[in-house]
Amino acid sequence: MAKRAKKQINLFYCAESEELARKVADHSDVIQLQTITWRNFDDGFPNLFINNAHDIRGQHVAFLASFSSPGVIFEQISAIFALPKLFISSFTLVLPFFPTGSFERMEEEGDVATAFTMARILSMIPKSRGGPTSIVIYDIHALQERFYFGDDVLPCFETGIPLLLQRLHELPDADNITIAFPDDGAWKRFHKLLMHFPMVVCAKVREGDKRIVRIKEGNPEGRHVVIVDDLVQSGGTLIECQKVLAAHGAGKVSAYVTHGVFPKRSWERFLHNNADHQFAYFWITDSCPLTVKAIANKAPFEVLSLAGSIATALQI
């Protein structure tokens, strides 16, 4: 069978994602960066211009988004809805971090499941000449959120775990790694991708008025234990997991999350000069560009870039 020719991709991006977009383009000679002029009117509403709009007719187009806050979503949605109507051959939205993914269920009447709201908005992206929009998302919080999207878009769920596996293989103690999950949800989400490692599963149990992290199964003694989860916010759960793993004899504790959200600079809790709970390594991807800039060159953080994975996903 003849090898399929690679698609030539015109990659647009939001301002926050420029560095990641350039890395994606560096991974492939068939990805060409295109720009949007991001301006605002005096009243604060977007005044946008898609450069080279005529030149992209009949071509494959992608947009690299970063929905880091409600304030930047509207301007990006405006561009995302405009691009497919420029007579392009196909359109792919790359949204590495689906920000409302952890708000996916109602626990009592009146709760608003904003994961569903965001999925509905994205499901309204216009079709291009080639058909429905593809939406690439990394490690969405709950896999059932696939069914929140309508039939007029094609969600493609990717994972950052291969980046972690590559990095673990490079460690001097690669043969002494144990994977820990902070709760059953993380175990369900990731354990099949990490089957060849010994595992520890933690759980939060109620003791009086407190919820305390305990080891549910597995033995961390003498091991380099790597806690794996999809995202981190304040980091409280990871810190409690580190403490209980260390108390049960773990030689070292590290952490991996695909999405380092870290609101209110909560990453500062993990810096080696601030923390009494030492993490040997804390790996994140560049799905949250503002965090990547904030933690640059600060131990124990290391960034595992999604750029190569995104370049590959754009060829699907």
What does the pLDDT look like over 146-161, one tens digit per residue?
A: 899 999 999 999 999 9
In which band, very low, low, confident or very high, does the pLDDT at 276 lie, cut at 50, 70 and 90?
A: low
With the CA atoms of 109, 110, 115 and 119 taken in that order, what torsion angle do they form, in degrees rounded to the nearest 10?
100
Verify that 137 and 205 share a domain, yes or no: no
| β-sheet with 60-64: strand ranges across | 31-33, 9-13, 60-64, 90-94, 133-138, 153-158
Verify that 170 and 148 share a domain, yes or no: no
Q: Look over the chain and give the mean of its residue pLDDT values, rounded to a whole number.
A: 95
Over residues 173-194, the pLDDT tens digits come to: 999 999 999 999 999 999 999 9
As a whole number, mean pLDDT of residues 164-172 equals 98
Question: For residue 301, is pLDDT > 90?
Answer: yes
The answer to whether residue 290 is domain-embedded is no
Verify that 228 and 174 share a domain, yes or no: yes
Distance, CA of 152 to chain centre: 23
In which band, very low, low, confident or very high, does the pLDDT at 45 lie, cut at 50, 70 and 90?
A: very high
Q: In terms of residue numbers, what domain contains 120?
A: 9-158+307-314
pLDDT at 303: 98
Question: For residue 272, is pLDDT > 90?
Answer: no
Verify that 241 and 109 share a domain, yes or no: no
Percentage of the residues of the chain whose pLDDT score is greater than 70: 97
The answer to whether residue 2 is domain-embedded is no
Verify that 212 and 227 share a domain, yes or no: yes
* Residue 30: HSE in the Cβ half-sphere, 13 Å Cα cutoff: 16
The answer to whether residue 294 is domain-embedded is no
Verify that 25 and 90 share a domain, yes or no: yes
Helices (H), the chain: 18-26, 70-82, 114-122, 161-170, 184-190, 236-247, 289-294, 307-313
In which band, very low, low, confident or very high, does the pLDDT at 204 lie, cut at 50, 70 and 90?
A: confident
Q: Which one is predicted more confidently, 143 or 17?
A: 17
Task: Kindly report the CATH number assigned to the domain that includes residue 136.
Answer: 3.40.50.2020
Q: Which residues of 147-165 are buried (b: 16+ CB within 10 A; e: fewer)?
A: ebbeeebebbebbbbebbe
Question: For residue 242, is pLDDT > 90?
Answer: yes
pLDDT at 78: 98
As a whole number, mean pLDDT of residues 270-291 equals 90
The answer to whether residue 186 is domain-embedded is yes
Distance CA 1, CA 212 (A): 57
Distance CA 85, CA 36 (A): 15
Question: For residue 207, is pLDDT > 80?
Answer: no
Question: For residue 1, is pLDDT > 70?
Answer: no
Distance CA 252, CA 242 (A): 9
Verify that 149 and 23 share a domain, yes or no: yes
Total domains, the chain: 2
Tokens of 146: 């696939």
pLDDT at 277: 67
Verify that 187 and 55 share a domain, yes or no: no
> 251: Cβ–Cβ under 8 A, 6 or more apart, which residues?
176, 222, 223, 224, 225
> Among all chains, which residue has been given the structure tokens 């504790």?
253
Predicted structure pTM score: 0.95
Over residues 78-118, the pLDDT tens digits come to: 999 999 999 999 999 999 999 998 888 778 899 999 999 99
